[in-house]
Structure formats: structure tokens, C-alpha cells
Amino acid sequence: MARGSDGESVLHKHLRVLQAFDVLRPFLTLTEIVEATGLAVSTTHRLVSELEREGLLERMPDRSYRLGIRLWEFASRTPGAIGLRELARPWLEAVHSRVRQHTQLGVLSGRDVLFVERLSTREAVVNATVIGGRVPLAVSSSGLVLLAHSSPGIVDDVIAAGWPAYTAATIRTGDELRARLRRVRADGFAVTDGHIHRESRGIAVPVLDARGAVHAALGVVVPNDGTSPQASVELLTVAAAGIARALEEAGAARGGHGMRTLASTSRRSLDYFSSLDARSAG
């Protein structure tokens, strides 16, 4: 891999440019990209031009930039996108039809929970996440579920790096976090009352396979009104078991390959895709 004189790879510099964009800053000018990345103007201009040429960035009429649709195209081909989201969607919809607030699916990504799917209503309580958004593991119910089933090394890394305190209820210390993770493992679910926003409560359960490995966290964000979370926990537990079953049946949990094992669509459509694949192979 090519490296610059500063020892940083060219690929990593491209990623720095792409990572400058987020939900709160979907459009950036070249100057703003320079400020966000800390790269030289000439370097940034070259990287942006290359990314635009490949469709990974798109230039707007006002000369600002946004992430290119080609990134979505690549992401939609991954087994995680085609598999987990597709197979989990009916179960998220079933939960959402009962909860009518926020229902979401998150996976472990570094020290964060990355939300790959979310259903919401306009009248729902405050939720700090969006599809493709990240939240530190230690502050959310989904993050606590994922962290509770992670290796001790990941827990140590999260504690060493720290996390922001959003409210007075946010977990503050490593000892407090370890105690909460023990409770999550014992209970089989996590509840966070006002940890990110005081009006909101997160409730999450793990999506486990037959060996006890965690695929994802399934959660809801509902009003922090002091009511028992048990009904939501039971609803989520049933849905999580359904998602795990769907993954197992599809072969995704055992490393299955191909659209037939991952995509949720009609049988005739899958037969059609298979025929195209057979023709190209021949």
C-alpha cells in the first residue's frame, strides 16, 4: 500500500476525508474538509478530486460536497446489509407496530454501536441515533448488550478510552460499567433510563446464535416514564429469537454464501438471480 512521506497511507487519507462527513454535517466545502481532516489544502484538493471521480463524493451546485451514492451501492452488497437487515426487518416491524416509538438494530463497531436499521414515528421521544449512526458502547442499552457479550479486551479498551457523559444518569466510571455489564449478562437485557437524554429510556436484548455468540442488539427507545420495562423486554426477546432463527435458517450464521441464503425476497426472484449467475458462470 502506497504511503506518503509522513508514513500515512494514501488509503487512510482518503478515509479521513470520507469520515469528515456525518449526520450533522452531510454537506462540506473544501475548506471545511481541510479543517475537519487537518490535511494540507493541496492534499485535500487532490483527494477530494479522486473521490469525486470515483463517485465516492459528489459535488453540489453550491460547490460543497456530499458522500456519493456509490458508497451506498458498495454497502448494500455486503452480507451484513443484505443479510442481517433483510432478515431482521420483519421482526423490527412487528416490534415497532407495538411500541410506536423507536425500534433499532445495532452491531459492534470498534468502541461504538453502529445502528444498521431503525424504525421511528414523528411523535416519538428523543433518540440520538440514525441509520448508519454511532453511539459509544457505554452509554446506550444496545451498546451495553453488545459490550456485555464482548471479550474482556474490548471492555478494557472502552474503559481506557473513556466516553462522554450526556446526562447525570450516564455511567461514569470503569467500575460502574463493569458492574452494569455483569447485571446485563445476568438479566439478559439492558435498560438505560435517561443516559443520553433524560426524556428517553433505552431497552435492548442480544440477538444470540445457538452457541451464544452475539450477532446484534435489538432495542427500543421509549419514554423514560418510570414504568416497568418488562413488557418491552419480553417483546424484544421474542423478536430477537426470531431474527436469530432466520439467520440460522438462512445459513448466514454458519457462513453461508450467495444471495439465496441472505436476501429476503420472493422465491421466484431468487430463482431468477440464480439463473443469471449460472449463465455468467457458463
The values of phi and psi at residue 189, to 5°, are -160, 170
CA atoms of 45 and 47, how far apart (whole Å): 6
Residue with cell 449463465: 279
CA atoms of 23 and 197, how far apart (whole Å): 18
Would you call 106 exposed, middle or buried from its count of C-beta atoms within 10 A (0-12, 13-18, 19+)? buried
State residue 86's pLDDT score: 82
Q: Which residue pairs from 39-47 have beta carbons closer than 8 angstroms and sit at least 24 positions apart in sequence?
A: 39/13, 43/13, 44/17, 47/13, 47/14, 47/17
At a CB cut-off of 8 Å and minimum separation 6, what does 31 contact? none
Q: Specify the 3-state DSSP secondary structure of 151.
A: coil
Q: Specify the 3-state DSSP secondary structure of 64.
A: coil
pTM: 0.76
Pairing relation of β-strands 102-109 and 65-67?
unpaired
State residue 85's pLDDT score: 84
What's 9's DSSP letter?
B
Instruction: Please give the distance of CA 151 from its chain centroid, rounded to a whole number.
Output: 19
Find the helix or strand (DSSP H, E) in which 158 lies: helix 152-161
State residue 279's pLDDT score: 62
CA atoms of 243 and 206, how far apart (whole Å): 10
Give the count of alpha carbons within 13 A of 132, CB side only. 11
State residue 1's pLDDT score: 42
| Residue 30 CB coordination number (10 Å) | 16
- With beta carbons less than 8 A apart as the criterion, state whether 84 and 115 touch: no
Q: What is the mean pLDDT of each run of 10 residues along the chain (282 residues)?
A: 63 95 90 96 96 96 94 72 79 96 94 93 91 92 97 96 96 97 97 96 93 92 96 97 86 45 57 62 55
Give whole-number Cα distances, 266 to 213, 271, 272, in Å: 29, 9, 10
